[in-house]
Amino acid sequence: MTRSKLVLSLLLATAAHAHADVVVGIVAPLSGQLAAQGQAWKEALEAYQKSKGDTVAGERVRFVYKDLPDVNPAKARAVAQELVLSDKVQYLGGFVYTPNAVAASQVATLAEVPMVIFNAAGVGINDKSPFVVRVSYTQPQLTIPAATFLMENGWKRVATLVSDYASGTDVEKTFEKAFTSRGGQVVSKIRVPLDNFDFGPFMQTIKAAKPDAIVVFTPGGAISIGAVKAYKENGLDAAGIKFLGLAGEVDEAGALKALGKQALGVYSSNFYNPTSESPQNKEFRADFSRYAPGVDISPIHTQAWEGAHLIYQMIAATKGRKDGKAAMKAVEGMKWIGPRGEMLIEPGTRDLVQSIHIRQVVEVDGKAVNKGIRTFERQPDWSRKE
Amino acid sequence: MSLLANILVDGLAFSMVLFLIAAGLAMTLGLMRIVNMAHGMFAMIAGMSTAALAKAGAAPLVAALLSIVLVAILAAPLERLLIRRFYQRSPMDQMLVTLGVAFIASAVASALSGPFVVNVPLPAAMTGTFEIMGRSFPAHRVVVVAMGALTMLALYVLIEKSRFGILVRASVERAGIAQSIGINTGVIYVVAFMAGAALAGIGGILGAELLPIEPTYPTRYLMVMLAVVAVGGHDTLLGSFVASLLLGTASTAMKYIYPEFSSLIFFGIMFLMLKLKPHGIFAR
């Protein structure tokens, strides 16, 4: 389909459906390796609607889902198009992987449909389209505060261990630059192939280098679990070497559930602090427990929760009419306090300025919990600053 | 501890995990000439069942033994109703149908228990670490090494020395003649298939600390299992044992020396061996 034809059909499509529900299309992994993430978003969106109601400005809001389990830009573009054309969505949301988000952003631009990225953390996605806004994070946003935190504690000799793919090697470079510029020293750098499942040898190598701490980036699930287990089993913990995870190492919805008390003591840098005593977080957790009982609340849930918040604001500002430009204008520069803390959609970049929390796994009532121990407020997307 | 000693110790431990998860596959392939891509499914089911039983209050060892029996029992109808129809078909057909079974198993597991890693409990004696020559070592790895060697020995006796082994080989090599002299080949096949599943269960449970049990397990580690069998050759279990040692030690050495290349060396060896010895290490 050519561009002009696409635009034309979009215009016809929207004209014909002026008075239907406001439909929001969520592109998420509902099957495959990351199905847990898609599932968590769904739980959060359902809980949000039960908590805040499903009508905004007199219009009923309805979420529809499309499964996109892996990195597949062509398919991402296709499902975004299908959502816009067939499901008549006024908003797009979701997106785990950066390449998928970038591909779908073309559709957002052409159809002038605001697109709220829940997760994809690659640098510069928002530059691809003026209709893209992000409620997730960028990896440097988590990495830079981690470097500061290590230096604050006098842990100046650090080893890095990252999964060997683009995001991992980016983290390795970002961290080294930030850490050495603060006076720290990276004594060992290891890149682990993605199909590896025995971390023992890497941990032995690191142990021999006698660092103060080890900084880890792994993509979550079985791989992250393996890294934490090997850290403990090879006695790095006992030797006083700290473990700081920058990704899924002790994620509440995945690895931490399986690791339980084996993860005690592990530090992580994240945009959500489950133990925050702020009224907003308490209310969020109370709401969540009421409407999605039995679910272990994770940072992933807050992504969709805040995404829904943003979409509701946009619908309110445009009174349910399809007006992508006005909707985007309404949230640019928007400031609010959510479960994660103070949030700002930075004017110009439409990236999130937010609090970053260093957490440590502790035992609370017999359960392993990520407890916030240090908060860095108003952290920008550091990739644009450092 | 010196680098060499580290490589040998970790390499041995890793090799035995490889062997344990691939032994059942090597056995069914070698004995029954069936390429069972769903092998990992039995490991996954055994792991998940162990976790569930332990959660319900069973002792880890009891839960593990019950689960191994369970997968052996589950294997029987699978062989009777489906697999046996493929003995005479091409390896490609066998691979496709068993891969299909593996995908279905993954989907069912995901629907039942969610896309998460389940915790396969360890008996108290297998938890914790202890010191060997100045370095700490996970206790379960020692058990894995012992079990790997024990499995090799037991299988060798079973297949090469026992009457059962002779019956299975006779049934596969010359089915018609075996039947005509009164061997019930149908029973032989199903028992051999059940034994393969039980072995998968043992490997899944014992290897769970390193290869966590989750719904994508059957396909996630399929490549690794196939590498062991491909390098080892489908005729001898000893081949798979040596292949495990070779692949495990080489990739572990690389992890110490040049981490980024540890996968490359694993599959590089597989490639080289298939080129030089396409029928396995001990093929003549």
Residue B117 with chain A: CB contacts under 8 Å: 221-222, 225, 254-255, 257-258
In whole angstroms, give the CA distance from residue A355 to residue B227.
Answer: 47
How does pLDDT run across A346-368, given as a tens digit for each residue? Answer: 998 898 999 999 999 999 988 99
- Tell me B115's DSSP state: S
Query: Is the pLDDT reported for residue A281 higher than 60?
Result: yes
Q: What percent of chain B has pLDDT over 70?
A: 98
Detail the DSSP E strand segments found in chain B. Answer: 129-132, 135-138
The continuous run of DSSP H or E covering B230 comes out as helix B222-232
CA dihedral A310, A312, A318, A321 (to 10 degrees): 120
Closest CA to A336 of A280, A293, A377, A292: A280
Least confident of A15-24, A225-234, A305-314, B121-130: A15-24
Tens digit of each residue's pLDDT (9 = 90 or more) over A89-108:
999 999 998 899 999 999 99
SS3 A95: coil
Residues of A in contact with B256 (CB under 8 A): 201, 204-205
CB-CB: which of B114, B129, B223 is closest to A36?
A: B114
- Regarding beta strands A91-94 and A55-56, do their DSSP bridges make them parallel or antiparallel, or are they unpaired? unpaired
Q: What is the DSSP string of A230-254?
A: HHHHTTTTTTT-EEEESSSTT-TTT
Q: Residue B279's pLDDT band (boundaries 50, 70, 90)?
A: confident
When pLDDT is cut at 50, 70 and 90, the band that residue A14 belongs to is low
> What band does A1 get if pLDDT is binned at 50, 70 and 90?
very low
Q: Give me the sheet containing A22-28, strands edge to edge.
A: A55-56, A59-67, A22-28, A91-94, A115-117, A132-134
Q: How far apart, in whole angstroms, are the C-alpha atoms of residue B56 and residue A3?
A: 59
Give the number of C-alpha atoms closer than 13 A to the C-alpha of residue B219, restricted to the C-beta side: 17
Question: What letter represents residue A171's amino acid?
Answer: V
The answer, yes or no, to whether ipTM is higher than 0.85 is: yes
pLDDT at A6: 59
Identify which has the larger pLDDT, A11 or A338: A338
Average pLDDT rounded to a whole number, residues A312-334: 94
What is the token pair recorded at B206? Answer: 């014992």
Please name the residue that has the structure tokens 């499995």. Answer: B151
Instruction: Summarize the confidence of residues A41-60 as an average pLDDT.
Output: 93
Average per-residue pLDDT for chain B: 89
Is the separation of the CB atoms in B231 and B281 below 8 Å? yes
Task: Return the amino acid letter for A244.
Answer: L
Task: Say yes or no for a CB contact (<8 Å) between B255 and A198.
Answer: yes
Tell me the shortest Cα–Cα distance from A95 to chain B, in angstroms.
Answer: 18
**Are residues A121 and A137 in contact, defined by beta-carbon separation less than 8 angstroms?**
yes
Looking at every residue in chain A, the average pLDDT score rounds to 90
Tokens standing for B167?
Answer: 């019956």
Does residue A196 come out as left (phi exceeding 0), alpha (psi in the -120 to 50 range) or beta?
beta
The pLDDT of residue A177: 94
Q: What percentage of residues in chain A have a pLDDT greater than 70?
A: 95
Q: Would you say residue A13 has pLDDT above 70? A: no
The angle subtended at Cα A168 by Cα A137 and Cα B13, nearest 5°, is 130
Q: What pLDDT is stored for residue A11 in this prediction?
A: 55
> For residue A215, which phi and psi values (nearest 5 degrees)?
-105, 125
pLDDT tens sequence across B176-223 = 888 898 888 889 889 999 999 999 999 999 989 888 999 999 999 999
Contact residues, chain A, for B115 at CB < 8 Å: 32-36, 39
Instruction: Name the DSSP class of A89.
Output: -
Which pLDDT score is estimated for B34?
87
Q: At what angle do helices A200-209 and B237-257 cross, to 10 degrees?
A: 30
A229 touches chain B (CB under 8 A): yes
Q: Can you give the pLDDT at residue A9? A: 59
Distance from the A10 Cα atom to the nearest Cα atom in chain B, whole angstroms: 36
pLDDT band of residue B75 (cuts 50, 70, 90) is very high
CA separation for the pair A76, A96 (Å, rounded): 11
Average pLDDT over residues A270-286: 95
**Cα A338 versus chain centre, distance:** 15
CB contact under 8 A, A222 and B10: no
Predicted TM-score (pTM) of the model is 0.87
Question: Are the Cβ atoms of A204 and B14 closer than 8 angstroms?
Answer: no
Q: Map residue A355 onto helix, strand or coil.
A: strand
Q: Where residue A32 falls among pLDDT bands split at 50, 70, 90?
A: confident
Alpha-helical segments (H) within chain A: 3-16, 35-52, 73-85, 98-111, 139-152, 166-181, 200-209, 221-233, 255-259, 279-291, 299-317, 324-331
What are the tens digits of pLDDT across the range B131-146? 776 677 778 888 888 9
Chain A CA closest to residue B128: A233
Kindly state whether A41 is in contact with chain B, defined as any CB-CB distance less than 8 angstroms.
no
Give the model confidence (pLDDT) of A304-322 as tens digits: 999 999 999 999 999 999 9
Does A274 score more than 70 pLDDT? Answer: yes
Contact list in A for residue B252 (CB cut-off 8 A) is: 198, 201
pLDDT band (50, 70, 90) for residue B168 = confident
Task: Tell me: pLDDT of A77 over 80.
Answer: yes
A221 at interface of B, judged by CB pairs closer than 8 A: yes
pLDDT score for B237:
83
